[in-house]
Amino acid sequence: MRIERDFIVIGGGIAGLTFALRAAELGSVAVITKDALTESATRYAQGGIASVMAHEDSCDFHVQDTLTAGRGLCNPDVVRIICGEGPARVRELIELGARFSRMGAEGYDLTREGGHSQRRILHANDITGWEIQRALIAAVRTKSNIEIFEHHMAIDLITLAQLDSTILPGDSRDEALGLYALDTQSKVVKTFIGKSTLLATGGAGKVYLYTSNPDTATGDGVAIAYRSGAKIANMEFFQFHPTCLYHPEAKSFLISEAVRGEGGILRLKDGTPFMEKIHPQKDLAPRDVVARAIDYEMKKSGDDCVYLDATHIEGYRARERFPSIYQACLSFGFDMTKEPIPVVPAAHYMCGGVVVDSWGRTNIHRLFACGEVCNSGFHGANRLASNSLLEGLVLAHRAIEKAGEVLKEGGALKHWMDQIPAWNPGSAVDSDESVVVSHNWDEIRRLMWNYVGIVRSDKRLYRARRRIELLQDEISEYYWNFTITKDTLELRDIAITASLIIEGALQRRESRGLHYNLDCPDTDDVNWRKDTVLQDCSPRLITTGKNKAIYHG
């Protein structure tokens, strides 16, 4: 099946839907989501969205807090653009119908989180992401020229390099023409063709054994972009949220940083607070500091967790401010108003990703990326709390300006689009060995947690690299021999994403922000105050489906 639209959007979170809404003013839009439209990382964002809304706050303060958290790797120009344009974009969200918590006639109930010098976090109690997603979906559904393709998983981008033998992946002349996507319900592979393609696929938390991310976060956007020759940067900077509920059935349920913003204190099993000896901001230190401190205390004591104490916050206030967190904890047997709750760090946010400029443009013409999948220079070596929704919102708004310009371009694009072949399954057959997929999936996530986690070493990283290389060989063989499934595609993507995280960590010979290597414990501003850029431009088979007939090199 061949589907042609002016704009192809891969992902249905805040970045993808913001882009789609603005794109609908210019042409036809196809939005592709791997699960239901309601299922995205945006939906699970509890804390809020950072934006300067108070008189005592300023863009300069927000910029400085972001730069401080980013440990010298933020792009100052991008930081100023996103912080500066953020308030206007947030007000547009409000006009769209997003309902943030208010303080009567005084305005919005702004809270504070780790690394912020001011109260600037807008929230909808503790379901901010859900509220933003609700408003965006409602708006998208009113647009007749936006078609939603739920339960469709991106397989690979279609680029000019696949059709023109004079162009290699990563070549400055390469262009994105669309993608192949698997309808996971009908099992049919569809060909999506567009004049601009946006990657807004979110993060890759499922690369790790323990994560706060939804099951959809398997690094798909980074993997397919890398396979197409897009530049990838700073994958070694993976943020671990310090406080996820520790319970065998909780599936790493996130305890928002806003609990500490309202006064929550981290304590050891015996009740001793420990952050006051680690950082001047104590429990509101940046996330990399807090996560490492918890990891250290757990390893030192042998305990399985530490405890977040919010019992000194008035009970009614805690219940009203954090209703979903309160109810979730209660369902697992913890009353946060009466007892400290057990917490552990879990993989939370990918600060690296597909390299883009301040307009969301990648090095492949017609390919844009926004949100967690991209590396815009906004987060640097450590994301400031609640800056993620802001980046997705602002960058998607900017990206459509350039995508609109691309829409007007003429040239030979139509000729090449007509040459795009349908997906070719080759000689692949149905698999009777799906245990291979589940086993490799589990092994990747465990080795990443054990060897490429909060604290790393050269020995652990080299061990992880060797094992990932072997697993990728097995996965590649499986991919080519058997009919593709959602599980197979996700396994292939998390393996590539894991390898990029490992490679970035091995290349960076220092410790900075979210990357801490015991063998290089110091920060090296002379040699390493720069991005770690990875790109696959080697001559190789360029595939259209299972058809191996097109070869470069």
- At 537, the amino acid letter reads C
Residues 6+ apart with CB under 8 A from 433: 478, 482
Structure tokens at 502: 């490992």
Express the helix, strand and coil content of the chain in percent, nearest 5 each: 40, 20, 45
**What single DSSP character describes residue 517?**
B
Q: At what angle do helices 388-407 and 14-23 cross, to 10 degrees?
A: 30
d(CA 201, CA 369): 9
- SS3 string of 359-408? CCECCCECEEECHHHEECCCCCCCCCCCCHHHHHHHHHHHHHHHHHHHHC
SS3 481: helix
Taking a C-beta distance cutoff of 8 angstroms, is the pair 498, 444 a contact? yes
**DSSP assignment string, 319-334:** HHHSHHHHHHHHHTT-
- Round to the nearest angstrom and report the end-to-end CA distance of the chain: 31
C-alpha span between 189 and 184 (Å, rounded): 9
**Residue holding tokens 């209660």?**
330
The catalytic residue among 120, 287, 366, 508 is 287
Which tokens hold the place of 330? 């209660």
Q: How many other C-beta atoms are found inside a 10 Å radius of the C-beta of residue 280?
A: 7
Is the Cβ–Cβ distance between 291 and 242 less than 8 Å?
yes
- How far apart CA 353 and CA 346 sit, in angstroms, is 19
Q: Is residue 287 among the annotated active site residues?
A: yes
Burial class for 155, CB neighbours closer than 10 Å (0-12, 13-18, 19+) = buried
CA distances from 493 to 57, 223, 373, 470 (A): 41, 5, 13, 15
- What residues contact 146, with CB distance under 8 A and at least 6 apart? 20, 21, 24, 29, 30, 31, 140
d(C-alpha 398, C-alpha 383), whole Å = 20
Structural tokens at position 490: 């996700």
H/E run at residue 440: helix 435-451
What CA–CA distance (Å, rounded) separates 221 from 215? 15
Of 281, 277, 272, the C-alpha closest to 112 is 281
Residue 200: name the closest of 7, 387, 421, 71 by CA: 7
Catalytic residues: 287
